[in-house]
Amino acid sequence: MNIQAYFARHAQTLLGSLGRIVNQPFATLMTMGVVAVALALPLLLSLFLSNMSAATGNWNNAFDLSVYMNKKASAARVATVAKQLRQRGDVATVRVITADQALAEFRDDSGFGKALDALTDNPLPDTLIVTPTLSASTPQGTDTLKQAIAAIADVQAVQLDTEWVKRLHAMLDILRRVVLLTAGLLGAGVVLIVGNTIRLDILNRRTEIEVMKLVGASDGFTRRPFLYSGVWYGLGGGLMALIMVALAAVILAKPVDTLAKLYGSQFRLRGLGFTTAVGVLALAVGLAWLGSWLAATRHIRGIEPT
Amino acid sequence: MIRFDQVHKRYANGREALAGVSFKIEDGELAFLTGHSGAGKSSILKLIALIERPTRGQVFVNNQNTAAIKPRGIPQFRRSLGVVFQDHKLLHDRPVADNVALPLIIAGVPKREIDKRVRAALDQVGLLGKERNRPLELSTGEQQRVGIARAVVAKPTLLIADEPTGNLDPDLALEIMKLFKRFNEVGVTVVIATHDVHLIEQFGARRIVLGEGRVADPGRPAGALAS
């Protein structure tokens, strides 16, 4: 068989199997719908996860240390400490927030403006925001840094809020595994659904398969249209899943936007990227192909002319 | 060449269809397998087409011991012979041309070549112009001729038919038999199982008579049992 005829034959089979499943629109849409739901669920979960990661921002910021200076320390002394810290190898940046700036910020943000006017004295200390270098941004690295800073004279307190980061990390880790488990189970579901659909299709076309075998069709040849049906189910289901996820993103965009604004965040809901979408389609086709291959290989072998 | 050598066939249900059958059919022969129903005609054809395997004994087709053909080799083997069935075994969801083209599609023949050969085969059975019809739009006799066109389209050297005239009235049956005779005249070995003794008497071809799973009369070309 020459190459051209080979590809022409495959293209013909591909279109033939498409025609066949299009002829039964209801059954086809049912199968594709089940595939779509099975794919959309883990997709939505993972989308939620990646948005959570994005929303909680750059992890490095979470390792910032807030260094509160003694109230009695002079502005010159604060500048010296800042300079001293900048020279450390494990410090990336140091930002100085003077007591006055801190009060002004607090006045703006808290809504206590008038009440604060009643204060005769600024109760806030000068603060240094110390960002560790990337390599020092570990629980151990920041701990060492924290102890070193605490030992400096005129430093009142060093605060490092890593506990919540650790907890969030742990939770996201669990969620990530839940997503993987769900994806694994539902992926197996896709294989089984498509496999079962193909199995029924094969049983319905038993006579045809017998005739094909009688005139010399190999199992591989007989199997081919069923594999292509599986490919179509996967492609259709994958597209439907992407549409479902896109719809979910549209429905969620507004409330998420509102929530983000309430937190004063610039965060916007992220959808699936083009690469991910293509990946989802490829995975859907792959799983459906596997399902149809398993069913077709097994059941076509069992059908012999009598 | 077809050679049966002490072939026994016992089915799973315990029925013994063949009990030591031996005969030989030379290349280019036209032979009828006759006998009462249950005499073993269909079993012999099934063994030739490798639809069944012998319980004992050996079956040679085209100088090949069929016992040596593994399941993977069966499709290739079947492409070397044409089979006609009493119930036609056509695919009703596609037109006549596609039915006839099936063996060529399976063999991977290029499209243009297929169209040409399908038309030639339909011409040989007198059905040119019915390419786009569905099998069920045709008469039984025409459907049988579609089955024959499909069996010969790949130019097999061996043509076997199981009661090909079983459902036809005598005139149509004779037409079909003449068709087989024409293929035989151009060199194809033809083996036809039929219980219609009256019909085949008009052909004067060899008759292998079966009875109770044995060869009751090996027919004219003697020496068939020589080996």
Which tokens go with B115? 């169209």
Which tokens go with B165? 């005239």
A245 contacts: CB under 8 Å, gap ≥ 6: A40, A43, A44, A47, A271, A272
What distances in angstroms separate CA B223 from CA A193, A208, B207, one per listed residue? 60, 41, 14
Q: Rounded to two decimals, what is the model's pTM?
A: 0.75
- Residue among B13, B50, B102 with most chain A CBs within 10 A, to mutate: B102
> pLDDT value at position B227?
38
Give the ipTM: 0.87
Residue B108 to residue A6, Cβ atoms within 8 A = yes
Q: pLDDT per residue over B132-178, tens digit each?
A: 999 999 998 899 999 999 999 999 999 999 999 887 888 888 888 99
Task: Search chain B and give the residue with CA nearest A16.
Answer: B94
Residue B103 to residue A221, Cβ atoms within 8 A = no
Looking at the complex, report in whole angstroms how far the Cα of residue A297 sits from the nearest Cα belonging to chain B: 14
Residue B78 to residue A215, Cβ atoms within 8 A = yes
B110 contacts: CB under 8 Å, gap ≥ 6: A2, A4, A5, A8
Q: Which residues in chain A have their CB less than 8 angstroms from residue B150's CB? A: 215
Q: How far apart are CA B74 and CA A46, in angstroms?
A: 50
A92 exposure class (CB count in 10 Å sphere: 0-12, 13-18, 19+): middle
Q: How many inter-chain contacts (A to B, CB under 8 Å) are there?
A: 56
Quick one: pLDDT band at residue B49, thresholds 50, 70, 90?
Answer: very high
> pLDDT value at position B221?
60
Quick one: pLDDT band at residue A59, thresholds 50, 70, 90?
Answer: low
> pLDDT value at position A269?
78
Which tokens go with A56? 């909680």
> Cβ(B130)–Cβ(B142) under 8 Å?
yes
Task: Search chain B and give the residue with CA nearest A208.
Answer: B91
Looking at the complex, report in whole angstroms how far the Cα of residue B182 sits from the nearest Cα belonging to chain A: 22
Q: Please spell the DSSP secondary structure of chain B, one letter per residue.
A: -EEEEEEEEE-TTS-EEEEEEEEEE-TT-EEEEE-STTSSHHHHHHHHTTSS--SEEEEEETTEEGGG--GGGHHHHHTTEEEE-TT----TTS-HHHHHHHHHHHHT--HHHHHHHHHHHHHHTT-TT-TTS-GGGS-HHHHHHHHHHHHHTT--SEEEEESTTTTS-HHHHHHHHHHHHHHHHTT-EEEEE-S-HHHHHTTT-EEEEEETTEEEE--SSTTTT--
Looking at the complex, report in whole angstroms how far the Cα of residue A30 sits from the nearest Cα belonging to chain B: 24
Q: Residue B204 pLDDT more than 70?
A: yes
Q: Tell me whether B105 touches chain A (CB under 8 Å).
A: yes
Q: pLDDT per residue over B58-101, tens digit each?
A: 999 988 999 999 999 999 999 999 999 888 899 998 999 999 99
Q: pLDDT per residue over A214-250, tens digit each?
A: 999 999 999 999 999 999 999 999 999 999 999 998 8
Q: Residue A58 pLDDT more than 90?
A: no
Interfacial residues of A (vs B; Cβ cutoff 8 Å) = 1-2, 4-6, 8-9, 207-208, 210-219, 221, 304-306
Residue A214 to residue B76, Cβ atoms within 8 A = no
Residue B75 to residue A208, Cβ atoms within 8 A = no
Q: How far apart are CA A61 and CA A134, in angstroms?
A: 10
3-class secondary-structure state, position A273 = coil
B103 contacts: CB under 8 Å, gap ≥ 6: A215, A216, B79, B82, B150, B153, B154
Query: What is the 3-state composition of chain A as percent helix, strand, coil, each rounded to the nearest 5?
Result: 75, 10, 20
Looking at the complex, report in whole angstroms how far the Cα of residue B4 sits from the nearest Cα belonging to chain A: 20
Residue B51 to residue A214, Cβ atoms within 8 A = yes
Quick one: pLDDT band at residue A61, thresholds 50, 70, 90?
Answer: low
* Amino acid at site B53: R
Task: Search chain A and give the residue with CA nearest B93.
Answer: A208
Q: Tell me whether B83 touches chain A (CB under 8 Å).
A: yes
Angle CA A126–A128–A130, to nearest 5: 170
Residue B51 to residue A211, Cβ atoms within 8 A = no
Q: pLDDT per residue over B101-136, tens digit each?
A: 999 999 888 888 999 999 999 999 999 999 999 999
> pLDDT value at position B226?
39
Looking at the complex, report in whole angstroms how far the Cα of residue A220 sits from the nearest Cα belonging to chain B: 10
Task: Search chain B and give the residue with CA nearest A303.
Answer: B51
Looking at per-residue pLDDT, the higher value among A133 and B221 belongs to A133
Q: How far apart are CA A294 and CA A192, in angstroms?
A: 9
β-pair type (B189-193, B30-34): parallel
Which tokens go with A130? 């110390």
